[in-house]
Amino acid sequence: MEVDASFYALISERNAELWAERTPPGFVFNIKAFAMLTQHSVDPARFPTALKSMLSVEQRATARLRHPTARALEMAFGMFWSALGPLRAAGKLGHLLFQFPPYFTARASNLDYIAGLKQRMPGAAIAIEFRHNSWFDGAQRPRQFRFLERQGLTLVSVDTPPGTVESIFEVTGAEAYVRFHGRNRENLVQARRGRGRAFQVSLRGSRAGAVGRAIEGAFRRAPRERHLQQLL
């Protein structure tokens, strides 16, 4: 199961405890990273008190905070990772999904940011989803795949609408993580802006066959046995 609510506000440790208690053995939660951690703008009104206290008066008054201080970002990482302790203890924490925004492009500073995620959350299984084609252009494509594999990070394979980010099917970690965004471009664009609504993905006919072949090809290219997570 993929938890999306954690993108909009930091979840509490109590919620994680209840999820662990109320689900059967073997149930796994994949948690979408809090927006601040993926360099999205965030609503300061939804911050916990401790995090909000680190903001200036001007930052607390803004509708969307885009550039938090380094101290505030570190606290947000700590709170996010600490709250997931009950799921880790119960063996029910899967991947942490880091879905980066379209303006997070392929450059050295962003690679450094990604490389630092494991240090901030030791032992975490981290999945990376890119929303800009610069990560896959020309020679960048194999370079980024190798980078993620060296870092022990899972590339999120995506099936996306035409005219958005390129559909990618590749395996870079011990597991494959696939997200199906459907063929409706407007839904995906609105979701990027935080105004999307839930929609059902349906794969039929030639599109279903093409996606199936792409996923199969990714597994065949992988150098070792992989496990697939399909999130609809």
Where residue 28 falls (left for φ over 0; alpha for ψ -120 to 50; beta otherwise) is beta
Nearest C-alpha neighbor of 81 from the set 41, 114, 33: 33
> What pLDDT does 163 receive?
78
Distance of alpha carbon 18 from the chain centroid = 23
Q: What is the pLDDT of residue 71?
A: 95
Structure tokens at 215: 């996923």
Domains of the chain in start order, with CATH, are 9-24+40-95 (no CATH), 100-232 (3.20.20.410)
**96-155 pLDDT per residue, tens:** 999 999 999 999 999 999 999 999 999 999 999 999 999 999 888 999 999 999 999 999
Q: For the whole model, what pTM was predicted?
A: 0.83
Q: What is the pLDDT of residue 211?
A: 59
Amino acid, single-letter form, for residue 22: R
Positions of the chain with pLDDT lower than 70, given as ranges: 182-232
Q: What pLDDT is stored for residue 232 in this prediction?
A: 39
Closest CA to 171 of 145, 152, 147, 194: 145
Residues 6+ apart with CB under 8 A from 90: 20
